[in-house]
Amino acid sequence: MTRLSVNVNKIATLRNSRGGNMPDLVQVAKDCEAFGAQGITVHPRPDERHIRYADVPLLKEVVTTEFNIEGYPNRSFLDLVLANRPTQCTLVPDEPGVLTSDQGWDTRKHHDLLSDVVSELQAAGIRVSLFVDAEEHFVQGAKAVGADRIEFYTGHYAREFGENPAKAVASHVKCGQLANAIGIGINAGHDLNLKNLSYYCSSVPQVLEVSIGHALICDALYFGLQNVIQMYLRQLAQ
């Protein structure tokens, strides 16, 4: 079954809006695991508007499942990752100040940068995933730089799902088959939710892990965090 990693950025955003430590990010991460989440994801950005760099070592101490740190590989981010040695580091091509990740790497254009960073992280025992759009040349480029996994950007899929699910997922199906054939693992994330998640994972059965934050936390406002994590796990089990 595809594993569920809960992105806790939105919890940090809520905490930061009032200062102090409510909600307690570390406790929420522990609770997510207790409620069934199979991983915790964070995406610290340079402005620290949600996850702060200081949160990362605190989470590293308590996360007992898979710890995934996402971000753009500038030197400060890489130093943070290397100091805390997560299970996985997901590299994203975000420019400073971007609201949310909205595109994947051009793995051919950035071959040299990505190759160097992938090697540095892998030398520290960290699995490396590259955030990519579902296009075959980007998948092949990720393999060429030595990445362990790719994470398909599913924002386009989510936007097109309501009109034509089969068309929306078609490029992901094709690229999932390619990735599997060339021996690179597959993750997925961005705008996956209770309506479109099961269809996506049944269409792209090679997906090992999904990272979900915004939609899951929004659903938790209505159903409660414990219930929502179980609801997402049931979608992945279908």
E strands present in the chain: 3-7, 39-42, 66-71, 88-91, 127-132, 149-153, 185-189, 207-212
Choose, from 50, 156, 172, 190, the residue flagged as catalytic: 190
Verify cis geometry, omega within 30 degrees of 0, for the bond prior to 46.
Answer: no
Alpha-carbon torsion, ordered 8, 93, 188, 172, to 10 deg: 160
- Is residue 111 part of the annotated active site? The answer reads no
- Catalytic pick from 33, 66, 70, 209? 70
Catalytic residue, from 33, 43, 66, 156: name it.
Answer: 43
Active site residue 190: yes
Contacts of 72 (CB under 8 A, 6+ apart): 91, 92, 93, 94, 95, 96
Q: Give helix then strand counts, H and E, for the chain.
A: 11, 8
Cβ within 8 Å of residue 104, ≥6 positions away: 92, 93, 130, 131, 132, 133, 138, 151, 152, 153
Catalytic residues: 43, 70, 190
